[in-house]
A and B are shown apart, each in its own frame.
Chain A
């Protein structure tokens, strides 16, 4: 029997999933140990192994790890002294940013300090031109002097990002070679290898983030590899990336920037797994937790990939208030509305929910830890959607009285009673989610109407049908093991690495020798990475793509080719796919405008993972364990409450119904029917 293991370290919990060759899952959730993440990692692993009755030596499949370590290091700004080497005249790139004032209407706006300060920024008299020609090479003496200056300031890690370095890495590499000789202990991050894409600010930001976190991740992943080996785990660990790719720990350690938000990325992969299993080409994954909700569009059974994103947004999740990263990542929207989001009345007398959150301390009023303001969870409890005696399987009692008091106070200002206030919060939070999802989809040229939702996270299943109704969703799917879905997602994903390099050029007059050289280099790098992750070249497939636009535009459309474009220098294929993708997104193709390639993409992918479906739940149909009054539809009489574990495949329930599990509660409103499918998913559909 083959066993595979997944560990997802999040901000609060460390989730562990062990999968046997028959598809059976053993799971565990333990508190994240921030002082030493590996302590929680191995505690969770040991618990799972002992539940399954096997030893670490038996884990002969993959060991996949997703972690929040990089995000934490950035948000807490706890990295080691990190320097930036920039081209002379351009050392302020991190302070100048895009020049964009992300919030037009707030004269009191603030910007986060640059990750690398001015006194740790060093300028070098060198220059590469836009076509890659070297105008000025690197002067060894100058770099040696820089090395001394950096060492005097206690620098541990260095980001090297030179103008046009994405086009020709020779100067960045020359700097690195000298530094390796004179200061071999420095961690080095080269923009030409971390993020070889055009646009100096996001590339520098990406390289800086990489340099800042590499001294944390390299030892961490090295330690992980050693400790797994000590426990005689047969295979080296693989690391989940933000793009949904998976790669060896050593390469991941050198590219920490690619690990940011890898947990949520894995959740999106689980969503795409269910899309595949359920035969749905498109869906919207909806993960609502304590402080925020995350949504991701799955198209053609794959998550949408973004070519850039931001980390550590300091202003109400506003785009532009964080640090940009140009790495391939799963395209997710984060909405400031979760179970802990606080409801309030604004100056106009309107009920608002979020983005302020009660977090986990003091938490919602019903946690009884001193929170006085009503939150979404308080509303859910007061409405009867949650059972205060059965939260986290009864491990945590919720205080109904405290929730109602907080809601009553808010209702005083709205002129509404507790039930009206609570149902108002329930409706407003659904509207907030739906509005964010609509804008996100529209921004990507996707028609959201009718998209099925896949709901998970602690608060997701409580609110998903209300959101689904607003998005005209045909169905809402509640997968099993939803509380460890991200960890599960890492186990249903092939080893994969995504590479991007900018080389702007007009499609009609491409220098194909240049393209061939570039793609060959990318393929070489990708194949080496996959070999390191245990995939020999003959098992690996290469998927080529590019980012294109019409000349004069600023945003690119990423496309995937049908085959290696170098076969016959297939300009016509590139044009055809680009024009179709453009038309699908924008509804119109401009005639007579030349097409420009900005960047080339290559995905290097290992063999498909054969996944046996988990055991089909069988046995007698579950009966309601209780009847409960739900204030949202009090007039219908008490609502049946089921224990999810008691439900069997094929069972159907007419809404309204409540289905409880340990970490969450599924709400099936009136007018919806729920079915248990053979995979164990609860599928809710609106009655025609």
Chain B
């Protein structure tokens, strides 16, 4: 296929999924989908290979949707008819916790299956424990939906709908978001069929083959330009409760085959709290780290991901086994890129960045208003500083690898009886260096209430700040203080009316000796 025809067809496929992702993000009830774009939308060929993915979403969804597509296409092979729609939230098959529901819509042209449009979005509720890491095993975390048909030949699967409705707290929101996923899948399918008609294609087999082959070739070529060898990186950080987690990555570059293998052997074992990461999610953040340094301009698809292999010991914190709790897997997952970047620093020092604060700090509050009505806030979050780059400082109050926006102070104050006393840069918290790390933030608030209230906060890096690179200083560690006293608690804390909470998020690591 020539470079003009392929560009036109390929950009149309990406446009189809990007359009559907925009529609989902706009419609979603789930605040994290709307504000942080915590969703993925992809187009798959008849074999379930991902051909195009929307230019949105969080790193955790890059590869997990691709894996889900392959698995679901295989599982339902020969069992799908027009009008069928498949659903699952199996953490091991898709994105690593129950909140993420994947909806997978087969596309039939006449009677022939030509591909699938799939999406994963983070739902508002899935029953069970709710937001946070406190469940003791996966079953406490909510409803487990095995791969099944949400629609059968166009008709809703009544029993499954009923099942879901009875097992979530906010069925209106969940079904509103599921309806959005279903309609976006159908609309994407219509767009693909229209494209085929316009361009005179019977199916997308040749196109898919061409896209996947070229992407895989380009990725392998980029890898072949690197020196061969194995490089090691290690990242240590503490999570709520004070446990220190170590992630070790051995990055092996094979510049003959053109592939990269990342091996997490030596990383910490499973955690008793819900911060364990399934392989898919580890894979997602690993490929994100490699691809964003290697060839970020190349679109994500089966081919561009294929040369990157990820392994981790079964049962470790980055390859969680049943029945480990997984709910807050981002707390560890967002650190997955860091040992990889440290290893890559020895190979491509100009394209990596020093360690940053890692996971965003999340907060949720439950309490009573002056009127006596109970309220539960949405989860809100704050970033620390980002790590420095070879020639550029780390941005302050900005997170890497995720990049989620924070909810404005005024929006939070309008939604609940909270009063913020401060939200400022934490000057000097970024590690010194030739390029300094970004600064973290200081956030201080109290509740305007005469009743006890519940605080569910998930800070990280309270013991160790992010490491610097190449002689740069580490960033300052974080501080989570209640009335001036440090706290490290993985579960919800009961607070008194006059308590003052102060969050000091970590600074990013510096790059190069100052």
Q: Measuring CB to CB, which residues of chain A are less than 8 angstroms from any residue of chain B?
A: 89-93, 95-102, 104-111, 129-130, 135, 163-164, 166, 198-201, 345-352, 414-416, 420-421, 424, 427-428, 431-432, 435, 438-439, 442-443, 445, 504, 550, 552-555, 585-588, 590-593
Contact = CB atoms under 8 A, between A and B. Distances in A.
Nearest to A443: B22
B413 interface: yes
Interface in B377-422: 378, 382-383, 386, 389, 392, 395-411, 413-414, 419-422
Which of B11, B179, B407, B414 neighbours the largest number of chain A CB atoms within 10 Å of its CB?
A: B414
Given A89-B424, A199-B408, A129 B22 contact: no
Nearest to A587: B183
A89 B421 contact: yes
Contact of B7 (A135, A198, A352, A438): A352
B405 A99 contact: yes
Choose among A90, A98, A352 the residue with the greatest number of B CB atoms under 10 Å from its CB: A98
Contact of B10 (A102, A111, A350): A350
Contact of A588 (B176, B288, B295): B176
Contact of B3 (A345, A431, A591): A345
A92 B425 contact: yes
Contact of A435 (B15, B26, B408, B444): B15
Contact of A90 (B8, B19, B406, B423): B423
Contacts of A345: 3
A66 B291 CA distance: 45
B317 interface: no
B444 A89 contact: yes
Interface residues of B, number: 81
Interface string B198-225: 0000000000000000110010011000
Interface of B: 2-4, 6-8, 10-12, 15, 18-20, 22-23, 26-27, 29, 31, 34-35, 57-59, 172-173, 176, 179-180, 183, 214-215, 218, 221-222, 288, 291-293, 295-298, 351-353, 378, 382-383, 386, 389, 392, 395-411, 413-414, 419-425, 441, 444, 448
B488 to A, nearest CB: 24
Nearest to A86: B424
- Main SS class of interface, A: loop
Nearest to A88: B422
B298 A348 contact: yes
Given A130-B410, A443-B22, A554 B15 contact: no
A96 B423 contact: yes
B392 A110 contact: yes
Given A99-B399, A107-B292, A415 B2 contact: yes
B338 to A, nearest CB: 12
A445 B183 CA distance: 13
Nearest to B412: A130
A591 B31 CA distance: 18
B424 A91 contact: yes
A345 B218 CA distance: 14
Contacts of B423: 89-90, 92-93, 96
A421 B35 CA distance: 41
19 contacts: A95-B396, A96-B424, A99-B383, A102-B403, A104-B403, A105-B291, A105-B292, A105-B296, A107-B296, A107-B351, A107-B352, A164-B413, A198-B410, A350-B10, A438-B15, A442-B20, A504-B414, A553-B34, A587-B27
A364 B402 CA distance: 39
B413 A416 contact: no
A349 B19 CA distance: 25
Contacts of A100: 398, 403-405
Contacts of B214: 348-349
A100 B58 CA distance: 12
B15 A199 contact: no
Contact of B172 (A105, A111, A590): A590
Contact of B8 (A89, A96, A428, A587): A428
Contacts of B35: 554
B408 to A, nearest CB: 4
Nearest to B4: A424
A163 B176 contact: no
A432 B3 CA distance: 15
Contacts of B297: 346-347
Contacts of A166: 410
A92 B424 contact: yes
Q: Among B214, B222, B410, B441, find the residue whose CB has the most chain A CB atoms closer than 10 A.
A: B410
Nearest to B395: A111
Given A95-B397, A107-B352, A554-B35, A90 B424 contact: yes
B424 A350 contact: no
